[in-house]
């Protein structure tokens, strides 16, 4: 651990929750586009099934934000399963798109596994994850000089 930047457990878990929520919203939007107007997205696997996965990710992200450790474990398991699925598909099809999705899911799995210990510390100290959002703070600062 670097002395200049100590680990802030609330921020680590909050960032993991925000990441899961963002990817859930992105998955829902891409799936709705695939179901309505984009055949290219439908060919990449987006559709009704991924709408359900996206909504599940949003729910798990908010569960992580409200300090439910089983939501963190479930989100990690889901991203691990998605990583294995993309790895299997990559062996069959060898596309750059599958490589990018595999790397993204693996990176999110790594971020979630890092935040498991921080979640345990938050539960024992009875504190909640950081709900701060840098983008919203930037907008509020710009609006009120």
Residue 1 lies in a domain: no
Domains contained in the chain, number:
1
Structure pTM?
Answer: 0.83
Residue 59 lies in a domain: yes
Residue 136 lies in a domain: yes
- Residues 48 and 54: their CA atoms lie apart, in Å, by 10
Residue 4 lies in a domain: no
Kindly tell me if the per-residue pLDDT of 132 is higher than 80. no
Q: Is 67 left (phi over 0), alpha (psi -120 to 50) or beta?
A: left
Mean pLDDT of 119-132: 84
What is the three-class DSSP state of 22?
Answer: helix
What is the CB neighbour count within 10 angstroms for residue 39? 8
Kindly report, residue by residue over 74-121, the tens digit of the pLDDT. Answer: 999 999 999 999 999 899 988 888 899 999 999 999 999 999 999 999
Residue 50 lies in a domain: yes
- Residues 141 and 67: their CA atoms lie apart, in Å, by 28
Residue 66 is part of which domain span? 10-140
The confidence score (pLDDT) of residue 141 equals 67
Half-sphere exposure of 2 (CA within 13 A, CB side): 3
Residue 3 lies in a domain: no
């Amino acid at each position: 651990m670097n002395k200049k930047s100590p680990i802030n457990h609330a921020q680590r878990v909050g960032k993991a929750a925000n990441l899961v929520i963002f990817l859930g919203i992105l998955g829902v939007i891409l799936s709705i586009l695939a179901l309505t107007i984009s055949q290219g997205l439908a060919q990449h696997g987006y559709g009704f099934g991924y709408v359900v996965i996206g909504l599940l990710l949003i729910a798990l992200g908010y569960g992580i934000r409200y300090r439910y450790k089983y939501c963190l474990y479930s989100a990690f398991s889901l991203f691990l399963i998605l990583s294995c699925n993309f790895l299997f598909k990559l062996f069959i099809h060898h596309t750059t798109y599958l490589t990018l999705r595999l790397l993204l899911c693996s990176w999110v799995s790594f971020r979630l596994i890092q935040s498991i210990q921080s979640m345990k510390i938050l539960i024992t100290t009875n504190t909640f994850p950081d709900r701060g959002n840098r983008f919203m703070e930037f907008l509020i600062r710009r609006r009120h000089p």
